[in-house]
Amino acid sequence: MKTLLALALLAPLAAGCSDGAASPTPTDAGAVDVPTTRDAGDDAPAANDVSVGVDTPSVADAGAPVDASPTALRRCPQTGRGALLGDHCFLLTPTETGLGPTGVNANFDHYALRPRGAARGQLMVFFNGSGGHPLGVIASPNTNLYASARDAGLHVLALSYRSDEAIATLCASSADRDACFFATRMTLMSGRFQTGASSALADITLGEGVYARLAMALRYLATRDPDGGWEQFLGDTAGEDPTRYFVWSRIVAAGHSQGSGHAALLGRLHPLDRVLAFAGPCDQVQAMPAAWLRGPTAFATDPATRFVGLGHPSDAICGQYPAAWESLGLAPSARITAQLCAGVGAHGAPIECVENAPLWARMLAPR
């Protein structure tokens, strides 16, 4: 039986080996979603590299070619762009985890954090908005959503995924926008092109799919941070069924804007601990939530008891999110109004304004 990596990343690895294409740089992938002046600076310098275990998986262990030399996890930068203070905060790219280097955003960093104290045995998987990257969500080095989750006892993995294009744009000219929204999101989740999805994703590879990037990142972290507890979130990665790769009941799916739709989709497909939606979901057709958001009984994670949303009513980019919450049946107490702050628009406020830190803590509190 094929291993996870042999299954998930044959296509990108083959592409990377056959044509010798150079790895893309961060400037190739577009601007950060809702950037602020807080993000000024440079990406993490090499000086932040520190050794956190030198056990490197073999080809047999990983299921795909990897660098045979010992590899250290990189620490999160303490200053400049993307700075996040505190111990046990790591950076890793999809390429570093063993995926092909030519995938979209394959060389942008995932952010991974583990709790400072007692761990709850839960993992927050975060999806940024369209055109963004995980570092764009960091409101300040001291106060940000990732740190709030870590301080609440959660592990955190903010994924660098194929987020360069807005799904609303991808599906704008589709003859069946309802079908396009769902099929396009399923394509991005699985790394396999789905009938009805935007044709712009026809070239997607398995290594660009969320399932593969999440599984590979967790495998990489479990190997290089062996005391970190990352392996508890992995299920059966030896088979070909990605729905078995993870211990879904331990996962909190969270996302901003377009990313909130990915979090909601995971909640539809899998029985999660909860879903946290920031300024979203945004999928709509003729001023109505997209069809996949209109059937809460079809969700494996109950929106009425396990979905929580944070948004602001003056949001002009995803102003339809209240209708999505209504359609999903979120409890009134789970529909939270975000605080605004100077220099940040209403759409970015739920994740960019540190004034919302008490609300983040509320959303992340044990059930």
Question: Residue 355 corresponds to which amino acid?
Answer: E
Number of H helices, E strands in the chain: 11, 11
What residues have CB less than 8 Å from 179, skipping those under 6 apart?
Answer: 196
Q: Are strands 307-311 and 335-337 parallel, antiparallel or unpaired?
A: parallel
DSSP string, 147-216: HHHHHTT-EEEEE--S-SS-HHHHTTT-S-HHHHHHHHHHHHHHSS--TTS-GGGTT--GGGSHHHHHHH
Residue 215 main-chain phi, psi, to 5 deg: -65, -45
**C-alpha atoms less than 13 angstroms from C-alpha of 18 in its C-beta half-sphere:** 6
**C-alpha atoms less than 13 angstroms from C-alpha of 265 in its C-beta half-sphere:** 26
Cβ neighbours of 175 (radius 10 Å): 7
Dihedral sign of CA atoms 321, 327, 329, 332 in order: positive
Specify which residues 152 forms β-bridges with. Answer: none
Predicted pLDDT at 242 = 85
3-state SS, residue 235: coil
Cβ neighbours of 145 (radius 10 Å): 28
Sheet bearing 123-127, strands edge to edge: 74-75, 89-92, 110-113, 155-159, 123-127, 251-256, 274-278, 307-311, 335-337
Which two tokens mark 262? 């990915």
Q: Are 212 and 245 in contact (CB under 8 A)?
A: no
Predicted pLDDT at 40 = 31
Helical pair 4-19 and 210-224, crossing angle rounded to 10 deg: 100
10-residue stretch averages of pLDDT, the chain, 367 residues long: 43 32 32 32 31 28 34 92 95 96 97 94 98 97 98 98 97 97 98 98 98 97 96 92 93 98 98 98 96 94 98 97 98 98 98 98 96
pTM above 0.85, yes or no: no
C-alpha to C-alpha distance for 285 and 43, rounded to whole angstroms: 38
Q: Are 114 and 150 in contact (CB under 8 A)?
A: yes
Q: Are 349 and 323 in contact (CB under 8 A)?
A: no
Domains of the chain plus CATH, in order, are 4-28+74-364 (3.40.50.1820)
Predicted pLDDT at 65 = 33
- Region of residue 284 (phi > 0: left; psi between -120 and 50: alpha; otherwise: beta): beta
Which two tokens mark 330? 């979120």
E strands along the chain, which residues? Answer: 74-75, 89-92, 110-113, 123-127, 155-159, 251-256, 274-278, 284-285, 288-289, 307-311, 335-337
- DSSP state for residue 49 in the 8-state scheme: B
